[in-house]
Amino acid sequence: MYHSYHSCMKRYNNVRYTTCADSLPLLYHPKPSASTARGDRPLCGKCRAPLITGHPINASDANFRRFIDKSDLPVVVDFWATWCGPCQQFAPVYSQVADEMATQAVFLKLDTEANQQTAATFQIRSIPTLMVFHHGAEITRLSGALPRPQLLQWLGQHLPKN
């Protein structure tokens, strides 16, 4: 979870992190620095709480487009449903990879049952489906759950290189 002080706005390695309980975090990442590439995570300049925790963010119909359009980092989305067995088995793998790659991409989860409009917009026919977006455009998609090594390999092949 992102730190929720409205007054906390921090520049870290040329990245501006704005957090607020009433709005979405906006990530601007023009060029990754050496410390970001090492995986260092920014802290709030006021209270020293982590601004990026590495947990996937639950998206909805109301905020999905904003995440996709406003992030300069690539966005990885897991389309899933609560009743889906493979989705439930894949969730810990996705969370672990999201933690490992928290400074390289934004990781979202979208429940297709609760957010049918977004699922229909992207023609999600099978779950789990993974999609990668960059600057608002879809880069690739994959249907089905992957083990951690294959997920890391797939992301390595499809995430834009900075």
> Any catalytic annotation for residue 8?
no
> Any catalytic annotation for residue 87?
yes
80 close to 109: Cβ distance less than 8 angstroms = yes
User: Of 8, 20, 47, 84, which is the active-site residue?
Assistant: 84
DSSP structure string for 55-110:
PPEEE-TTTHHHHHHH-SS-EEEEEE-TT-HHHHHHHHHHHHHHHHTTTT-EEEEE
Q: Which residues contact 117 (CB under 8 A, 6 or more apart)?
A: 61
Query: Which residues pair with residue 129 across a beta bridge?
Result: 79, 143
User: Of 8, 20, 44, 87, which is the active-site residue?
Assistant: 87
Instruction: Give the residue numbers marked as catalytic.
Output: 84, 87
